[in-house]
Amino acid sequence: MGDFSLTIILYAAEKRTLDRVLPDVVRIFTGADGNLFSETYNQLNAYFAIVPGNYRHNLRKLFLLNSNYADISFLFTIHLGETWNEHLDREYLALLETDNATPYYLNLHEREGAHTLILGATGSGKSFLRKYAPRRLPPMQLPLPLPA
């Protein structure tokens, strides 16, 4: 995972302004389970460490907790849909492309329900989808079985 740290430098024209702002900064960090250390002996190293490329000067490195690491990680995925429609016992209705150029397997069924609401901006393909989807559905088998 690595070592992590955050250096905050507060600047103001007058010390009174800093004294007024400091409790707000401390409140924000303590509300997020953060620990703040006021530098004394290590001030010069901490100051040099804020310059890009000078991370070696930072002597206050800590490991992150799992909860913090999960908050800053980029672990996510785009939902792909379902490749198999269990209700119809066949493959997906249509293969669409998302804004991120990933495939999306379109199904109109969630378990046994097939309720669909199509929303979108003008020209986004609502009418096309409305005309295209019924052509991909399997033909209904008649007569329909009556519920017991």
What is the pLDDT, as a whole number, of residue 14? Answer: 93
Question: Span 78-94, mean pLDDT?
Answer: 85
Q: Report the percent of the chain where pLDDT is more than 70.
A: 81
What is the pLDDT, as a whole number, of residue 21? Answer: 93
Cβ atoms < 10 Å from Cβ of 126: 13
Question: Span 81-98, mean pLDDT?
Answer: 85
Q: In the structure encoding, which two tokens stand for residue 114, read together?
A: 């097939």
Domain layout of the chain by residue ranges: 15-72, 84-136
Residue written as tokens 């009556």? 146
pLDDT tens digits, 118-135: 888 898 888 887 787 777
Give CA–CA dist 61/55, Å, rounded: 10
pLDDT tens digits, 49-58: 888 888 888 8
Phi, psi of 81 (to 5 degrees): 80, -165
Using a 10 angstrom Cβ sphere, with 0-12 exposed, 13-18 middle and 19 or more buried, the burial of residue 69 is: middle
pLDDT tens digits, 57-74: 888 777 777 766 666 666
